[in-house]
Structure 1
């Protein structure tokens, strides 16, 4: 998530608050993720509410009070239970007390926190690497299947139908956190393609351990020794740990190509042949 001005400071504070909250292992990170996602969906639907909660002319405490009134426990006889738990309410209250450059930045921040809570849940179970790899592989499957991509992006299909399709594909085959994340990305895309959403989640997962993500395409699967050497070389180049997302594409004809963010390190035979052909033509 890229933000500027006041939103950058607000998001940084929200990230710190989430980390401090989830340092307590008694906090249910999965429940927190679901509740933050529900609040995100609410503010996406209710534009006037979102604008009110980010209005710089309104006092922070007044906006926090409104959030607590809407989401917290109700007062009176026969009152309904709170819509979210205490931890989620504290996070949302902190968010609306902050200043935001744009009202949409608030909902983007809530969404990021919800996915971060999911990743924290995976990290607690020592499954973050597994979830990262499964997200990457699923993204490649979607990219390679026009039929599946069409089914998951079909605006005429209900979210329930899409969720059931995903659960039939992933249920019992993927980590529960992966399944939860993918279902949410598909049913609440917020204007993004699934591939874009998965790429953002991959970067968010890497950031949890202060590491980068490299997408590596090779003609044949890399051996463990090759992966170790490549990881060490990239870590030395970028000055931080690099997680490798590996893909195999026989059309590269040997060698590898590596993409880190917007930078591409190309060492494939196919590209060398193309370069030689261009020189001969010149």
Structure 2
């Protein structure tokens, strides 16, 4: 059962511009040379539409991606956030603000905001200089195109452990490092020292949510079929990086789909 503290919390911030411009569309992270220990503000209070991010222990290495898209940011078609080449729909609060957590690895990283027609609104490239930060070897990203839908990523590791919204941190070092059980996607699973063996990746259309919390009313969907995209990234930020993407249609609440099994 989902907890009552996941009811939508909207925080009003004064002085933010109403329209999206290049200068405020992406305010963090900054470009250039970064060192997480000097710029990481993840412990500070932040707005994370539509719920506050909950750190359950698997998210300590996260950084915040933040900005303001103005009044049009919440309406379809959505802007896109592209992190290290991986695009996901960019949902905002009613005033166009967003804050999204991401666990960047060391080395070169990029963050870009694109308009609904695919034009680059703002892009930053930065180099994470802290070599002590864990480097994701397996990353699984799940995103979808209905901001009223609660869709869950599930990953089963070779030792039988199951990472999902109620159990985000695994004892084998894997977990939902930027889990969005408290809001729309993306769901983001990483492992820095993967076990050898068979992995399973599942996607579940759990339900919908609105101003009164979670519910299971199919009629609130914005389109008959929700499109989810699941991306597997191996050896991120290295010369061995490779990725696979899968598009999975979600037609009804409760639908559970095995997206991919793979051996590592």
Same fold per TM (> 0.5)? no
Select the structure with the greater relative contact order (CA < 8 A; seq sep ≥ 6).
Answer: 2
Greater percentage in helix? 1
Kindly indicate which of the two structures has a greater share of residues assigned to strand. Answer: 2
Give the alignment's TM-score, normalised by structure 2: 0.31
